[in-house]
């Protein structure tokens, strides 16, 4: 297993659904599996993006913080960046960008997209940290802030997961954003126009790590949940 062909994932999207929001991996551990990544903090504490080994958090006030090694996360991805240039694009909407990328690569394996450029009418969100006892993902995510920018320079960092992994991962694209000025970012809800250079890194391996030392997770009975439809409600 080449480490540059491996996407690391801690936790699953599914475990967030009933509100298993304990932080079960530290940022230090996550960074051992990559210098690039995304995630959310314990209790859905903001939106994380790791660029060049630096873990930024966009909190629900819209503030950008560099988090410490002992910051914990219930769900996260990381990998070691080794992108190749894919193409340059001008003024593509999020849907156009997703379609363009899928037209140039396979939808049947995991990959990451990194795009530096100018983004117009970009909308992001960050959830407000909640505390134990946690509510469900749907309830917790109601407490979110939405941020808008007419035009901003920055980096879009995205992971794509094949449809069959939906629920374990986020099936399809999962986009996070950080501005060059480190004053705007979060989980991307949409954008009007993206102009810049798209880079692609394809993986052949998903290293799926589960929080087996967390009793709440291990003892939870997921069978009462329609996990996939809950996820699709909360992530869009």
Q: Which is nearer to a copy of itself, 70 or 163 (CB)?
A: 163
Query: Cα–Cα distances in Å, from 56 out to 16, 48, 95, 183, 232?
Result: 21, 6, 26, 11, 25
* Binding status of residue 104 toward a copy of itself by CB under 8 A: no
* Binding status of residue 164 toward a copy of itself by CB under 8 A: yes
The residues, any chain, with a CB within 8 Å of residue 103's CB and separated by 6 or more, are none
Rounded least distance, CB 109 to a copy of itself, Å: 5
The HSE-up count of residue 55 (CA atoms within 13 Å, CB side) is 27
Choose the binding region for a copy of itself from 70-78, 122-130, 182-190, 197-205 (rule: CB under 8 A). 197-205
* Binding status of residue 152 toward a copy of itself by CB under 8 A: no
Judged by CB under 8 A, which of 212, 224, 226, 236 binds a copy of itself?
Answer: 212
Contacts to a copy of itself from residues 215-234, by CB under 8 A:
217-220, 222-223, 227
DSSP-based three-state secondary structure for 141? helix
Render the burial of 144-169: b for 16+ CB within 10 Å, e for the rest: bbebebeebebbbbbbbbbeebbbbb
Reduced DSSP (H G I as helix, E B as strand, rest coil) percent helix, strand, coil of the chain, to 5: 20, 45, 35
The residues, any chain, with a CB within 8 Å of residue 232's CB and separated by 6 or more, are none
* Binding status of residue 31 toward a copy of itself by CB under 8 A: no
In 3-83, which ranges are E strands?
6-10, 25-26, 36-40, 47-51, 54-58, 64-66, 72-73, 75-79
Judged by CB under 8 A, which of 91, 96, 142, 204 binds a copy of itself?
Answer: 204
Rounded least distance, CB 155 to a copy of itself, Å: 25
Place of tokens 């659904």: 17
* Binding status of residue 209 toward a copy of itself by CB under 8 A: yes
Q: Which is nearer to a copy of itself, 140 or 161 (CB)?
A: 161
Judged by CB under 8 A, which of 138, 167, 172, 192 binds a copy of itself?
Answer: 167
Judged by CB under 8 A, which of 129, 202, 232, 235 binds a copy of itself?
Answer: 202
List of residues contacting a copy of itself (CB under 8 A): 1, 12, 14-15, 106-110, 162-165, 167-168, 202, 204-210, 212, 217-220, 222-223, 227
């Amino acid at each position: 297993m080449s480490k540059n062909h491996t996407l690391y994932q801690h936790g699953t999207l599914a475990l967030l659904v009933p509100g298993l929001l304990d932080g079960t991996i530290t940022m230090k551990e996550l960074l051992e599996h990559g210098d690039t990544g995304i995630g959310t903090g314990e209790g859905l504490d903001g939106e994380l993006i790791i660029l060049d080994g630096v873990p930024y958090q966009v909190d629900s006030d819209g503030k950008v913080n560099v988090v410490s090694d002992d910051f914990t996360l219930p769900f996260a991805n990381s990998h070691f960046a080794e992108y190749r240039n894919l193409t340059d694009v001008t003024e593509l909407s999020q849907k156009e960008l997703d379609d363009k990328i899928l037209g140039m690569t396979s939808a049947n394996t995991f990959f990451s997209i990194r795009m530096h450029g100018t983004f117009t009418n970009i909308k992001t969100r960050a959830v407000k940290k909640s505390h134990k006892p946690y509510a469900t993902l749907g309830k917790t995510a109601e407490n979110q802030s939405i941020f808008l920018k007419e035009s901003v320079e920055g980096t879009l960092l995205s992971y794509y997961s094949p449809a069959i992994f939906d629920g374990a991962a986020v099936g399809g694209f999962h986009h996070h954003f950080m501005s060059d000025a480190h004053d705007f970012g979060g989980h991307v809800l949409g954008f009007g126009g993206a102009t810049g250079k798209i880079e692609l890194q394809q993986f052949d391996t998903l290293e799926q790590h589960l929080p087996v030392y967390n009793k709440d997770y291990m003892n939870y009975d997921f069978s009462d949940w329609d996990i996939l439809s809950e996820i699709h409600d909360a992530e869009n």
